Structure 1
Amino acid sequence: MDQEITRWINAPAGSHAALDMAMIALTRYGVPLLVLLVVVQWWGRRDRLRLRHTCIAAGLSFLAGLGLNQIVLLFVHRVRPYDAGVSHLIIEHSADWSFPSDHATASFAIAAAFLLHGFKGRGSAFLVAALAVCLSRVYVGTHYATDILGGAATGIFAAILVRQLYRAGTRMDRLVTGLL
């Protein structure tokens, strides 16, 4: 089923120039743009300290999720779908294993952090962007659908972990959120 879903999403790749360009742009620039959007939130005017705390939590979730992925990669060596003949690759080859998707982890960690800290509007917007980035990763042929699910799970887990461990109002939090 995973291969069939991956093939279905990847099927139009290489056939529609405008769609290919959009998906390649999402794949290349989606996560950096999400990070930039988190950084811009730092200067929000409403509920400033809670928003800044959430920005720090999103960054920590991002890093923790990618760290968890590195541990998973020590044990899971899944071949990329284009190497297995499942997908048609329309971007450059990746040097690492397929599972879990770092793009999914990073984007879902950010979205989950904002949602878990009560920023429903911003969190929902980040979630829509995360879903678009994840779809692009399968479309361009570099991931299986379950690689995306695994990455999303590690991103969400990291955000939950950070939510539990990084508390608002601590001395360190007041120091960091008071910068700039």
Structure 2
Amino acid sequence: MLEQLEKLDQELFLYLNEQQSPFWDNVMVTVSDKYFWIPFYLLLIGYIIWRYKLQSIPMLLMAVAGIGLADYVASGVFKPYFARLRPCHDPEISAIVNLVRGCGGQFGFLSSHASTGFALAVFFNLTLSDRYLIFKILLVTWAVMVSYSRIYLGVHYPGDTLGGALVGTGTAMLAVVGYRFWLRKYTRFQHKPLA
């Protein structure tokens, strides 16, 4: 059963990875670049501080905790434990992988990009008011795009990104529990957002 899943994962990877073009190469390199997103993160932090005032302190701290935990579980636990080679390091298929820019570390299960992206997106989907539906959809779309870019660039199997997304979702949910507990315990951090 596990061998069949790995074979399916490999076949899906090869199909998705061969959908290449010079235009999309540049787009996916940019989408996958963590430094490209720094202005986005700063705007998000600034907006949350402006909108939520004192409540932004536990919100941002627990978001960082969820994202940090997602990264640790993906890179510090899963990658060394499972030691699954990235497609670009896998001798069985590395010769036919469309590698756009660099391969990265030896192991790929789980994708840290997927785990941290989904941790951020899910955390804010669960903590922000429902009036931010479009913003919530954009966050999830962003996390999916970042995850897909890792397959496109030849450095992760779809299973790596799916597993990363699940871990990120789980750590985000834990962070939300911590955030809500914080608000209940320390009521001075509660703030009704501006209309």
Tell me what 1:26 maps to: 31
Tell me what 2:140 maps to: 127
Q: Which has the higher helix share?
A: 2
Q: Percent identity?
A: 24
Between 1:135-144 and 1:85-94, the stretch displaced more is: 85-94
User: Aligned in 2, Cα 1:22/1:158: closer, same or farther, shift over 3 Å?
Assistant: same
Determine which of 3, 7, 15 is the counterpart of 1:8: 15
Q: Which runs of 5+ in 1 are unaligned?
A: 175-180
Between 1:79-88 and 1:24-33, the stretch displaced more is: 24-33
Determine which of 63, 72, 75 is the counterpart of 2:78: 72
| RMSD of equivalent CA atoms | 2.4
Distance 2:27 2:161 in 1: 19
Distance 2:188 2:13 in 1: 42
Larger radius of gyration: 2
Tell me what 1:61 maps to: 66
- Report the 3-state secondary structure (helix = DSSP H, G, I; strand = E; otherwise coil) of the residue aligned with 1:111: helix
Give the count of matched residue pairs: 171
Asked if 1 retains the 8 angstrom alpha-carbon contact of 2:125 and 2:136, the reply is yes
Distance 2:73 2:40 in 1: 20
Q: TM-score, normalised by structure 1?
A: 0.83
Asked if 1 retains the 8 angstrom alpha-carbon contact of 2:70 and 2:115, the reply is yes
Asked if 1 retains the 8 angstrom alpha-carbon contact of 2:89 and 2:106, the reply is no
2:49 is equivalent to residue 43 of structure 1: yes
Q: Hey, which bits of structure 1, 4+ residues long, moved more than 6 A?
A: none
Aligned partner letter, 1:23: M
User: Aligned in 2, Cα 1:78/1:34: closer, same or farther, shift over 3 Å?
Assistant: farther
Distance 1:33 1:97 in 2: 29
Aligned partner letter, 1:88: N
Q: Which runs of 5+ in 2 are unaligned?
A: 1-7, 190-195
Aligned partner letter, 1:129: W
